Amino acid sequence: MYFLSNFDEMSKLILVAFISFGVIGCKKHIDSSMTEIKEELNYLALGDSYTIGTAIKGQDAFPYQLANSIEAKVGSKVNVKIVAQNGWRTDDLQRAIKRTELENSYDLVSLLIGVNNQYQQLPIQDFKTDFIKLVDTAIEYADGNKSSVFIISIPNYGVTPFGISNKESTTIDLELYNTLIDSICKERELSFFNVTDISLEAENREDYRAKDDLHPSAIQYGDWVASFVNRVLQKI
């Protein structure tokens, strides 16, 4: 107090201004580092059998496990809308989206498609053309926000009992598909989540396979989600 009393009026004003600026500066820094997460989120999952969760309970499919994980981590309710069906190719998904009633925009949009193009040995160039259109559609339903979109790699069914007889050729094909998908994601600056490496464990882990010995089990899907949920959280 004695020190302040010896300041002239101008010095006091300068000191007060300096202290006030520091407080305001700190407050601004704190506020700018905080992100507000919505209490309710809408998530659109586009794909095929790997998205719908063939041969397991529907609520165990990865979109629902991801929604549950987000809710557990940040408390936000996630409304899941799935446009996917067993056996769909890229062209099937395109047609289905057009005839499905959807919201104008979603907080999150995922895309996982292509295994049936590969399985039916369709031209990969046709896949590329269709996939790019689907990527553009995903961005459109994310209200143009690329950061809200994420693409998931095609699992390797060649290691499952269903596909083991063609393991080598299937692995080579899917590597080409996933490399192409990855390159498209890099060009479009989209997140690409690699779950193919995780899927390889289905060769030796029965609990990683659904009852049809082809599709992922709930446990495998859970490991998918665990591998990318924190990256998804950064999108909301």
* Domains held by the chain: number: 2
What b-and-e string marks burial along 142-170, b requiring 16 or more CB atoms within 10 Å of the CB? beeebebbbbbbbbbbbbbeebeeeeeeb
Confidence of residue 8 (pLDDT cuts 50, 70, 90): low
**Looking at the structure, do residues 25 and 50 belong to the same domain, yes or no?**
no
| Mean of all residue pLDDT scores within the chain | 89
34 pLDDT more than 80: no
Confidence of residue 38 (pLDDT cuts 50, 70, 90): confident
**Looking at the structure, do residues 56 and 137 belong to the same domain, yes or no?**
yes
Is there a contact between 177 and 127 (Cβ–Cβ < 8 Å)? yes
**Mean pLDDT (whole number) for 171-194:** 98
Residue 13: the pLDDT is: 47
Confidence of residue 9 (pLDDT cuts 50, 70, 90): low
- How far apart are the C-alpha atoms of 160 and 92, rounded to whole Å? 25
**Looking at the structure, do residues 6 and 96 belong to the same domain, yes or no?**
no
19 pLDDT more than 90: no
- How far apart are the C-alpha atoms of 189 and 206, rounded to whole Å? 36
2 pLDDT more than 90: no
**Looking at the structure, do residues 57 and 98 belong to the same domain, yes or no?**
yes
Helix ranges, the chain (H): 2-5, 9-33, 49-52, 62-74, 90-99, 115-119, 124-141, 167-188, 196-199, 218-233
**Looking at the structure, do residues 83 and 27 belong to the same domain, yes or no?**
no
CATH label of the domain that carries residue 126: 3.40.50.1110
Instruction: Quote the domain boundaries for residue 20.
Output: 2-32
**Looking at the structure, do residues 20 and 111 belong to the same domain, yes or no?**
no
33 pLDDT more than 50: no
Tell me which amino acid residue 91 is: D
Which is more confidently placed, 24 or 213? Answer: 213
**Mean pLDDT (whole number) for 93-99:** 98
**Looking at the structure, do residues 17 and 99 belong to the same domain, yes or no?**
no
36 pLDDT more than 80: no
Q: How far is CA 66 from the centre of its chain?
A: 9
**Looking at the structure, do residues 16 and 71 belong to the same domain, yes or no?**
no
**Looking at the structure, do residues 142 and 63 belong to the same domain, yes or no?**
yes
Which is more confidently placed, 119 or 32? Answer: 119
88 pLDDT more than 60: yes
Residue 118: the pLDDT is: 98
**Looking at the structure, do residues 28 and 42 belong to the same domain, yes or no?**
no
**Mean pLDDT (whole number) for 65-89:** 97
Residue 196: the pLDDT is: 98
Range with lowest mean pLDDT among 9-23, 135-149, 176-190, 213-227: 9-23
Is there a contact between 113 and 46 (Cβ–Cβ < 8 Å)? yes
**Looking at the structure, do residues 15 and 68 belong to the same domain, yes or no?**
no
**Looking at the structure, do residues 18 and 116 belong to the same domain, yes or no?**
no
Is there a contact between 112 and 51 (Cβ–Cβ < 8 Å)? yes
